[in-house]
Structure 1
Amino acid sequence: MHKRLFHITFLILLTNMLSGCVESFDAATEDFESVLVIDALITNEVKHQEINLSRTFRFEEEKAGSESNALVKVVDDMQNEFIFEENNPGQYVSVSMFAAQPNVNYQLSITTSEGSIYESTPEVLPKNTPIDDLYASMETNDQNVEGVAILVDTYDPEGESQYYRFDYEETYKIVAPFWNPLELIIENEERLFIRPVPRAQEEQVCYNTVNSVNIILGDTSGFSEDRLNRFEVRFLARDNYIIGHRYSILVRQYVISREAHIYYETLNEFSGLESIFSENQPGFFNGNISPKNDSKEKVVGFFDVSSVDEKRIFFDHKDFFPEDLVPAFPFDCPITTPTGIEFINGVRFETTEYWANHSPEDASEGFFKVVPRICGDCTVLGSNIVPDFWIE
């Protein structure tokens, strides 16, 4: 599910919470209105476009409920109709691959299983403006923290873009600090004979990929030219472990409409925790999607038609801080010598990893030294499959 859903869901919960007078807090939600949440974005990329539908949920519930069995389609003013089918609960993917085209109006239409109909206003694809440059720079942020800033330069000489949104996908290398080429196995269950053997798979070097969660907006409407220079999309502290070895980031730049920019900007304001206690308490606001059966019904979401460009960069920690040691592993890695059932269960349930044999003088404490699995097996934190795009 798209990251924007977090902000949208938070908005509805916040709206419900602030809608009444201040009273003693009750963990259970008594008055609750189920509102459809629509996360819809189509771009100028030729692909299976995706739309996500869910419902707001009570504070005491763990997650949003999906909106299933809906009829979802996008139509344009060229009489084309793009049908979306439900792949997973609440996730609707276009049956055919398509890309939004310039100078064409697109409109989203949704009919729920209960017969409620929702439609967006017609939206047109903004001008496609490519990223001029994506680069990393050693910087000190406003909190006086040294680190690496991920910066974007972009420029539209015709001045037509003006409103931008960014997201990113970061991938980093993980090296298990207490990896050993051997692992412990129980060779004989009856006798509980345990011995070290060569590892069956790669568990020293892994990779993890994480998507951004914040709404990152750029606006040049008040500038003398349509240019973003050294626009920061990510800051990584010098001691952040994810840049300890090799790091890559894929940044996507979306050119969006003014209306979309206002919508995302409002979401950013609502999702700030300080707004809960603000005297200027926000109310419900609409996007560009409205109900057709009942004009008083609430719906949250924005049908976004955006042009997108992307770039990727790689760097190593030593490229910026050659004198530094690798940033500290973010988990404790005590070396222990368990015995008895503690040792057997650690091997059987794979909660520990072999580190070394004891020397004869301390063998009485236990024959094997072990560490927590997370310290000796990188697959706890990532995948041992090298990403297709990875470059060393």
Structure 2
Amino acid sequence: MSCRTNIYGWVALLMAFACVEPFDATSDILSDTSMVGALVVEANITDMETTQKVFLSRMQRVESDSTVNVEEERLFNVNTPIIIERGLGPQFESGADVEIRAGNGTVYDFEETEDGTYESLAPFAAMPNVSYQLFVSTSNGEAYESDAMLLPQTSTIENIYAERTVSDSGLEGVGIFVDSTFPTDGDKLLRYAYEETYKIIAPYWTPFDFEIIRDQTEVIYDDLGNIEEILYPDVRLVPRAREEQVCFRTDLSTGEVLLNGNRLGGNRAERTMVRFIGVDNPIISHRYSILVKQRGVSRQAFDFYEKLVAFSQSESLFSQVQPGSLEGNVYSTSGNVPVVGFFDVSTEVSQRLYFNFDDLFPDQSLPPYFGIVNCENPVAPLLGNPERDGPLPPSGGDACPQPLIERIKLGLVEYYQDNSGLAACNGPYLVVPTICGDCNVVGSNVKPDFWID
């Protein structure tokens, strides 16, 4: 049995499944202001030779008495499982000194690469039978350190696969499953993360783009002051200057997927679902890839993240967390200063999977495209050129929608096709919202090095 949490869309909600051990979060709810200003630490080093990272921020209250229109936000790191309750926002912790000290005497220094993000000066990998400890000194003189942590035993991914399935709420979609094996002794505790990459194809792409020739009417006079020519606003079609039909996007996991293998018989876990994607989600419309990272963690780390999941089941999260109620392994050494977070040392194995929409849903319509847009009904805004536009309504051009050239300048539209029926308030071109014709709005036209078509 696996524990999983799924965060989808704009609202970040953690949902814990039945295998989470019971935890009474409400018993620790005492105040909604006690943790404002607390340092939040997220650090995970692995046995992979890579640039290791530490993320630091402060919890702060939004300057508003109303939280009705404030969406729940994720903390500093898009890959963190820690979520702030409505009304609280993150403040990146800059200017800190960060280092990790190994039990063999090696010291790994970190530098701030962007606000609140600290990266090791050189790549390194955590080694077996060597302890590691995190030390943080903030710019205001506060000092923090973690417990010394050892690298857990490693596990193996036997297989990763995608299947059509139905969620507990009855939604049809795709489940990403993992089969794993553990060592015969030691803790069998796993924490999953993933990176998902998907192909985006703009549904109303054409090889042409607009180029503005004139954006306003110009009157040319002869030497006698008579009107010689009137040049009206105009555009022309030119080949697109960049790739805008096919793009790619990579998103990181944001929820917690935990597996306690000690509750299973033997040393094998089957069908751990690390990701569920609804059939109407546009990220699987064409080709989809997921890199699943399986991390072996300590009992202390597993308990922390399992308790974090339990907190998420209450109506409020960190706005109700008292110091000690979500106790990690990072502590203040300069007084009774609140801190939330965990320094984790984990083993990591990973495996990548690809599939196409047609592989699982043959003969089924593609999911709706990204965003709440109307790609299926192109419009024909006035060009402002009476020689090319349709007739104006009796009330004049002011009664017509925003002209084409203004929309082009604002980056709102893409060319779709010529307009053959020039009705009132209609211009010579049918256009669609930019997102429908240019995939760069939601992705990048740079193909990832690892991508396989």
- Which TM-score tier does this pair reach, normalised by the shorter chain? 0.7 to 0.9
Q: Is residue 72 of structure 1 aligned with residue 98 of structure 2?
A: yes
Q: 2:379 aligns with which of 332, 336, 339?
A: 336
Let me know the Cα RMSD of the aligned residues: 2.5
The answer to whether structure 1 residue 93 and structure 2 residue 119 are counterparts is yes
Letter in 2 for 1:90: G
Q: What does residue 231 of structure 1 align with?
A: 272
1:304 aligns to 2:365 (yes or no)? no
TM-aligned CA deviation for residue 18 of structure 1: 4.5
Shift of 1:239: 2.5
Q: Write the mapping of 1:193-204 to structure 2, written as runs, cut at 5 A.
A: 193-204=234-245
* Gap change, CA 1:53 and 1:364, over 3 Å in 2: closer
Tell me how far 1:116 sits from its aligned partner.
1.8
CA distance in 1, matches of 2:286, 2:118: 38
Larger radius of gyration: 2
For the residue of structure 2 that corresponds to 1:57, the secondary structure is strand
Identity score, percent: 39
Q: Residue 49 of structure 2 aligns to which amino acid in structure 1?
A: V
Name the residue aligned to 2:301. 260
Indicate the residue corresponding to 2:164 in structure 1: 138
CA deviation after TM superposition for structure 1 residue 7, in Å: 9.5
* Aligned twin of 1:25: none
Q: Confirm whether residue 276 of structure 1 aligns to residue 287 of structure 2.
A: no
CA-to-aligned-CA distance 1:137-181 (integer Å, 9 cap, x gap)? 111222222221100010114243411100111111111111111
Q: Cα deviation per residue 1:20-61 (whole Å; 9 max; x = unaligned)?
A: 4xxxxxxxx987741111111111011121111111111437
Taking structure 2 as the reference length, what is the TM-score of the superposition?
Answer: 0.76
1:52 pairs with 2:55: yes
Runs (4 or more) in structure 1 with deviation over 6 Å come to 29-32
Shift of the 328–67 alpha-carbon distance from structure 1 to 2, 3 Å rule, reads closer
Number of aligned residue pairs: 369
5+ long unaligned stretches in structure 1 = 9-13, 21-28
How many angstroms apart in 1 are the aligned matches of 2:269 and 2:437?
A: 44
- Tell whether 2:434 aligns with 1:391: no
Report if the CA contact (8 A) 1:159-1:225 is conserved. no
Using the alignment, how far apart are the partners of 1:358 and 1:39 within structure 2?
55
Cα 1:59/1:225, change in 2 over 3 Å: farther
Is the 2:154–2:183 contact (alpha carbons within 8 Å) kept by the matching residues of 1?
no
Residues 199-222 of structure 1 deviation map (CA, whole Å, 9 limit, x = unaligned): 111111111111111011111112
- The alignment's TM-score, normalised by the length of structure 1, stands at 0.88
Among 164, 173, 177, the alignment partner of 1:147 is: 173
Instruction: Between 317-326 and 282-291, report the one with greater CA deviation.
Output: 282-291
Q: Which residue of 2 aligns with 1:24?
A: none
Deviation at 1:325, TM superposition (A): 2.0
Q: How far apart are the structure 1 equivalents of 2:37 and 2:300?
A: 25
Matched position secondary structure for 2:191: strand
Deviates more, 1:150-159 or 1:56-65: 56-65
The answer (yes or no) to whether the contact 1:146–1:238 under 8 Å persists in 2 is: yes
